[in-house]
Chains A and B, each alone.
Chain A
Amino acid sequence: MNAILTVAAKEFRDGLRNRWISAITVIFAILAIGLAYFGAAAAGQVGFTSLSTTIVSLASLAVFIIPLIALMLSYDGVVGEDENGTLLLLMTYPLSRWQLLLGKMTGHGAIMAFSTLVGFGSAAIIMGVFSQTTNWPDLLAAFGLFILSAILLGWVFIAFAYIISTSVSEKSKAAGVALITWFIFVLVFDLGLLGFLVGTQGDVDAQLFPYLLLLNPTDIFRLINISYFASEQISGLMAIAQHVQFSTVTLVMSLLAWLVLPTAIALLIFNRRSL
């Protein structure tokens, strides 16, 4: 445990030094505050919009940004150490591969969690202080769930990044594969699912589609946040999930499963990686 924490602390310090933490925090804060204040600009209003609109809008935008940031943060976690020669060196220390990998993931996970909490949390505080229409308990519950799911989504994509990083031999390849991963999960999957839905014209059991959404962690993240305000703002693929009402706990557990599975795969690949 000590070795994991040592590696994690080093990664966190690295994140502070190379400005990753401050950059992500500022991006999240600007995004959240901007959406909260200018969310109703399209309707000709300026000022804090409703909590549900803010969270749903945030979830819709965060689902693009969080995976990208998580992948960029961690794609070179292992392959970068390998290219620099420090991976070989670390493996001569009394440190097992799983300790190194979990340490690095914990460090990057802490960077993501800290930035998400402070970035989106600051927006929640500003909204709580200045908005006339929201009360603190609702605000804290909604933002609490949003921040928790956002952190989990970030961790899932950090785990994806480590699968990539342990699998390839060059940093540039890892960056390319990370970009493709983001493209598939964030854009292609939903388009494919919609195409499948239209193409089959109802021949496929309608009950199946909501479960297909669980195959994509970004959809689970959206479901968690959008279903929290269920009756208000549901459209598109998310509306399909209404056929099967997933509880928030089920969705969070699904996201956790998405965290555990790639982590286990990354560990497996890393154990077989030749030095």
Chain B
Amino acid sequence: MNIVELEQVDKNYAGVQALKNLNLELKQGEILGLFGHNGAGKTTTIKLILGLVEASRGKVQVFGSDPTLSSARNQRRQLGFLQENVSFYDQLTGLEVLNYFARLKGVPKKQCMALLDQVGLNEAENRRVKTYSKGMRQRLGLAQALLGNPKLLLLDEPTVGLDPIATQDFYQRLETLKKQGCTIILCSHVLPGVEKYIDRALIMGRGELLAEGNLHDLRHQANLPVTIKLQGDVDLPITLQAHAVPEQSSNILQSTDIQPRQVNLEIPLQHKMEVLQTAMALPGLQNIDIHLPTLEDLYTHFIGAMQLGHKTETASSEALTPVQTPEPGVSDAAIPSSPKPLESVSR
């Protein structure tokens, strides 16, 4: 059984379509990364899963039932949610805040102490929340989300305010939860580092699903080039010279006294192996670095493609406005057959 199931879901807010035809399935123990620009529909998706809003069209099922029904309220004991920028009750201590939420969820008090210990707040448990730093508040929020060992955990920007060690601890905790069978949805704008911990990514833009899949799938969908950096005194064969690109601070054949010459090649993903084989055979080669498109590159690509498509659509519709019956060739010419991989992706 799927833990979460969204089928052809639309959500409209006062004439604004926040979600368009979203399909999503999440299985037990899966970690999904939910990414998108501001207003992409991430929060609406989370609210639909939490049962806080009703879908305008389509079906939403969580643990096999509609989360908006009052009969599904008890299932919320199996849910954990950490929202972005939550501000807990300043006058209460960390322990009191956690005890309050534990009582509401019917979780024994002793779990609160253990959770505060796990998130590293045991020494501050009797301090009022108003004295907490942003990171401490975030850790308190995380402890709150983990109350009752949830089977479905929704985390919106969970690492904001956390220092690198706490962030690392957090991701390790996600791994443990995943092994225990917890399904996790992770929303984040901080993409570097996330890719190691998610099973699948869902990239959204303007309420629509732009891309979905694991990193491998997304790389193939995006068809972004792989960057191969060759170091050493190499003479590129003609077949590879076409793929050579300049680097920001160095040219193709730039060399210094302390650094060996470096050549950057950008090649299609499907040609990676054959280029590598050719490169390996080059005399004078000292080192090879391979840079596959990161999650950040893929995100930038899909969002960029969406914006490009939107601009093209706008331009073509403006161009077509005076014409009542558009000629097929006009719009086809305006829209590229496939989104061009973004050359300006930051690496």
Contacts and interface: CB of A to CB of B under 8 A. Distances in A.
A84 B52 CA distance: 17
Nearest to A274: B53
Contacts, number: 63
A85 B83 CA distance: 8
Contact of A275 (B53, B79, B86, B128): B53
Given A96-B70, A274-B53, A90 B92 contact: no
B96 A13 contact: yes
Contact of A13 (B50, B76, B92): B92
B100 interface: yes
A41 interface: no
B103 A6 contact: yes
A88 interface: yes
B92 to A, nearest CB: 7
Interface string B64-89: 00000010011011010101111111
Contacts of A275: 47, 52-53
Interface string A1-42: 011001100100110011000000000000000000000000
A172 interface: no
Interface string A109-149: 00000000000000000000000000000000000000000
A93 B105 CA distance: 6
A74 B340 CA distance: 57
B287 interface: no
Given A17-B91, A86-B87, A88-B83, A10 B76 contact: no
Contacts of A268: none
A201 B343 CA distance: 86
Contact of A86 (B74, B88, B96): B88
B83 A91 contact: no
Tell me whether chain A's interface is mostly helix, strand or loop, or mixed: helix
Interface string A241-275: 00000000000000000000000000000000011
A91 B100 CA distance: 14
A275 B92 CA distance: 24
B52 A92 contact: yes
Given A3-B104, A10-B92, A94-B106, 10 more contacts: A2-B103, A6-B104, A10-B100, A17-B128, A85-B83, A85-B86, A85-B87, A88-B83, A89-B83, A95-B104
24 contacts: A10-B100, A13-B92, A13-B96, A14-B91, A14-B92, A17-B91, A17-B92, A18-B91, A85-B86, A86-B86, A86-B88, A89-B86, A91-B50, A91-B52, A92-B52, A92-B81, A93-B101, A94-B76, A94-B106, A95-B73, A96-B70, A96-B73, A275-B47, A275-B52
